[in-house]
Amino acid sequence: MIRSFMPFDVVDLLVAGRALSNKAKTRDGVGRKDARVSDLASIVGDWFNPQLRPCAWVYTEGLALRGLASVRDRRGPHAWEINRLLVADQDRNCCLKLLEHVSLAGGRLEVGRIFLRLSTDSPLLKAAQETGFLSYSTEHVYLRERADGTETKSGVPSASSPRRKKVDDEYHLFGLYHACVPPHVRRVEGMTYKEWQSNRDRSPGQEWVFEKDGDLVAWVATDADRHCGHLDVLAAAGDEMQSAVEYGLDSLSGCQQVCCLAPDFDGALLRLLEDRGFGRVTSYSVLAKELLVRVVEPLAMPAVPA
């Protein structure tokens, strides 16, 4: 049986321990250590938020809780991402049931697309595909450790100076995205500006842009917690890519670790990260499921004589 999450379910989740680990990974969660207790506290906190309460479900069998799935909006309300999929590694049936239920709930709420990120070696990947999730991209986690405990600067001069991203840059950033990302990815994430705005990953932290002749040629975003810094880069050419990466690394030079989630299709970024001392840690398959959304059409009614 699948039902909405209730706060008392936390007890079963705690008892289950690591057997029910989170198989879904969000972009802002990559590189961060799983904090199980704080995450469970966050689930309870979401339950008390009236806007989020319907967005977490558990699968039970008798008195046993076998799994949990929860979702959150991406940049817009018509795109969801699964941020928690707490199931056992080999519990294919539980995974199927939860993903099917998430899809039904999304259809009722007129969500257009649901995104899911799973490890490429996850035994649950085929189960997700059986429920209609299609893999459209592969992303690699690159990590660099600062071994000596001191800050390091790149020393490489930038081809252009960045500035902080403004709201007015959004449309031009979409143009950069359109130029850098292959069509098979754009078909899922957004062929139009409106789709792209809704389907994008959540805000990655502080954002800067590089301009050349009035056009945006690179974008870099950084975010840092106590131990790990996160780097995101998008650039139109090799020089701009190098400038963006070096600027991001300098901004994160105080972090013990720097993590970057790089798409498989961006060979220039992968090579540059390896040149800068990054090593590949793991890989994720990015999946999406398109839902049929009801379209309201005008209906002509015959005039009623007075």
Give pLDDT, residue 149: 45
Give pLDDT, residue 225: 80
Count CA atoms within 13 Å of residue 97 on its CB side: 17
Q: Bin 221: left if φ > 0, else alpha if -120 < ψ < 50, else beta.
A: beta
Beta bridge partners of 10: none
247, burial (CB in 10 Å: exposed 0-12, middle 13-18, buried 19+): buried
User: What pTM, to 2 d.p., does this model score?
Assistant: 0.89
H helix intervals, 131-237: 170-180, 183-189, 193-199
Closest CA to 219 of 290, 160, 301, 155: 160
Give pLDDT, residue 176: 96
d(CA 251, CA 221): 10
What is the band of 237 on the pLDDT scale with cuts at 50, 70, 90? confident
d(CA 269, CA 260): 10
> What 8-state DSSP symbol labels residue 305?
P
Kindly indicate whether the domain formed by 2-132 is annotated with CATH number 3.40.630.30.
yes
What phi, psi does 191 have (nearest 5°)?
-80, -25
Enumerate residues 6+ apart whose C-beta is below 8 A from 36: 18
> What 8-state DSSP symbol labels residue 55?
G
* Average pLDDT taken over every residue of the chain: 89
Closest CA to 164 of 98, 197, 210: 210
In 10 A of CB 277, how many CB atoms? Answer: 15
Specify the higher pLDDT residue, 245 or 29. Answer: 245
| pLDDT tens profile 31-88 | 777 767 778 888 888 888 877 767 999 999 988 999 999 999 999 889 999 999 999 9
What is the band of 298 on the pLDDT scale with cuts at 50, 70, 90? low
| pLDDT tens profile 109-122 | 999 999 999 999 99
Look at the block and give the residue holding tokens 């990815």.
Answer: 185
H helix intervals, the chain: 9-16, 36-47, 92-108, 125-130, 170-180, 183-189, 193-199, 238-251, 267-275
| Residues, the chain | 306
d(CA 87, CA 161): 46
Q: What is the mean pLDDT of residues 15-37?
A: 84
Give pLDDT, residue 299: 55
d(CA 263, CA 199): 16
| pLDDT tens profile 139-197 | 999 999 975 444 445 544 555 679 999 999 999 999 999 999 999 999 999 999 999 99
Task: Dig out the tokens for 94 from the structure.
Answer: 């539980």
Give pLDDT, residue 151: 47
The structural domains of the chain, with segments of one domain joined by +, span: 2-132, 142-283
Give pLDDT, residue 211: 93
d(CA 261, CA 241): 15
Dihedral, 151, 152, 157, 158 alpha carbons, nearest 10: -60
pLDDT at residue 304 tops 60: no
- CATH for 142-283, options being 3.30.70.100, 3.40.630.30, 3.20.20.70, 3.40.309.10: 3.40.630.30
Q: Do domains 2-132 and 142-283 have the same CATH topology?
A: yes
Specify the higher pLDDT residue, 16 or 248. Answer: 248
Task: Dig out the tokens for 29 from the structure.
Answer: 């969660």
Give pLDDT, residue 293: 56
Give pLDDT, residue 59: 96
| Coil vs helix vs strand at 143 | strand
